[in-house]
Amino acid sequence: MTEQGNDPLDRIRERLEELSPNDQRVAEAVLRDTTGVAFGSADTLAISAGVSKAAVVRFGARLGYGGFGGLQEALQAGIRDRLGSDRGPEVIGSGTLVDRWLEAVERDLRTVSKNTPPASLDVAAALLESGEGWIHVFGQRASAAVAEYAYFLLNPMLPNVVRVEAGESALADRLIGVGPEDRLLAFTFRRYAKVTTEVASFFHEAGAPVVLVTDSTAAPAAKFATETLICADDSPAPFPTAVTGIFLVELLAATLLERNPASIGRRLDDAERIWGRFGTYGGEVVPDAE
């Protein structure tokens, strides 16, 4: 197992700002797809980062791993640590997967709780509730489900919330007229969808605030964000867990309600009346008689 505090991802994040531009590109590629790098090749990483294979080898050496092979071994060890097993990722699906997954998710939730200052949630909430324009909610691919849940929670709470569809024409039509009075709530998790970065950049150029929920400060869209909320992800699989993203969405919604109990409370009451009138839900569950 890796030594405490010696996780290669932590080492990369700590040194990210002091790295050369080439090394930063490699670092961001590693953070984007850690599992792929851990069990892939130096050539694949070089292509992903847009650098030479020699630059990948030098990156591993500069971090103290002697080269790409040493970095790869450290990444594999980190994955095994998160699995809680000294076996490789091929054991996923057997044994105590439920326990390992639960432990990883609980660790992620504790990390989010520890590393999310209430001030950051307040800033994000203030950005969303300010302005007279639209609150655009956007996420693509793996992030789309979390974005949909955010829309479901926020639409009854705040006016002018709209879910931006990722289709090319629908996206372009929705972004017509975006200006400083609008806001963007965007979601992007590894592997980061390029269009999400483009949407965040578009809002940034228009002078509109961007609240970003992501799993790393190295996410390409982070440089366009007004406020970034980070959700940890150490799930023991090649795909990310959505649990921490959903947790942050619920924290954000709870912060909005705490800041505006009267106005949001009235909107939620109105929503309940409308849902009841139009039969949105099937009604209360009646318990069986004893």
What percentage of the chain exceeds 90 in pLDDT?
Answer: 40
Higher per-residue confidence, 99 vs 282 = 99
How far apart are alpha carbons 82 and 274 in whole angstroms? 46
pLDDT at 3 over 50: no
pLDDT in tens, 32-59: 778 888 888 888 899 888 999 999 999 9
Residue length of the chain: 290
* Residue 259 near residue 122 (C-beta atoms within 8 A): yes
Is pLDDT at 95 greater than 70 in this prediction? Answer: no
Q: Is 56 exposed, middle or buried (0-12, 13-18, 19+ CB in 10 A)?
A: buried
Per the prediction, the chain carries an average pLDDT of 84
Q: Is the pLDDT of residue 106 over 60?
A: yes
- What does 200-264 look like in DSSP terms, one character per residue? HHHHHHTT--EEEEES-TTSGGGGG-SEEEE-----SSSS--SHHHHHHHHHHHHHHHHH-HHHH
First to last CA, the chain: 55
Handedness of CA 15, 101, 229, 27 (dihedral sign): positive
**pLDDT higher than threshold 50 for residue 88:** no
pLDDT at position 221: 92
Whether the predicted pLDDT of 287 surpasses 70: no
The single residue listed with the structure tokens 């002078």 is: 207
Q: What is the pLDDT of residue 161?
A: 94
Q: Where are the domains of the chain?
A: 8-91, 110-277
* Pairing state between β 227-230 and 183-188: unpaired
The lowest-confidence range among 27-31, 172-176, 219-223, 239-243 is 239-243
In the Cβ-directed half-sphere of 56, how many Cα atoms lie within 13 Å?
A: 22
Residue 91 corresponds to which tokens in the numbers above?
A: 């054991």
For the residues 220-236, what does the mean pLDDT come to?
83
The band of 83, judged by pLDDT with boundaries at 50, 70 and 90, is low
Distance between CA atoms of residues 5 and 30, nearest Å: 18
Kindly indicate the confidence band of residue 133, based on its pLDDT and cuts at 50, 70 and 90.
Answer: very high
22 Rama sector, left if φ>0, alpha if ψ -120 to 50, beta otherwise: alpha
200 versus 98: the higher-pLDDT residue is: 200
Does the reported pTM lie above 0.85?
no
Residue for token pair 């709530």: 185
CA distance 181 to 64: 47
Q: What is the CATH topology of the domain spanning 8-91? A: Arc Repressor Mutant, subunit A (1.10.10)
* CATH 3.40.50.10490 assigned to 110-277: yes
Overall average pLDDT of the 115-128 stretch: 92
pLDDT tens, 141-173?
A: 878 999 999 999 999 999 999 998 877 677 888
Helix (H) or strand (E) holding 145: helix 144-154
Residue 34: count of CB within 10 angstroms of its CB: 23
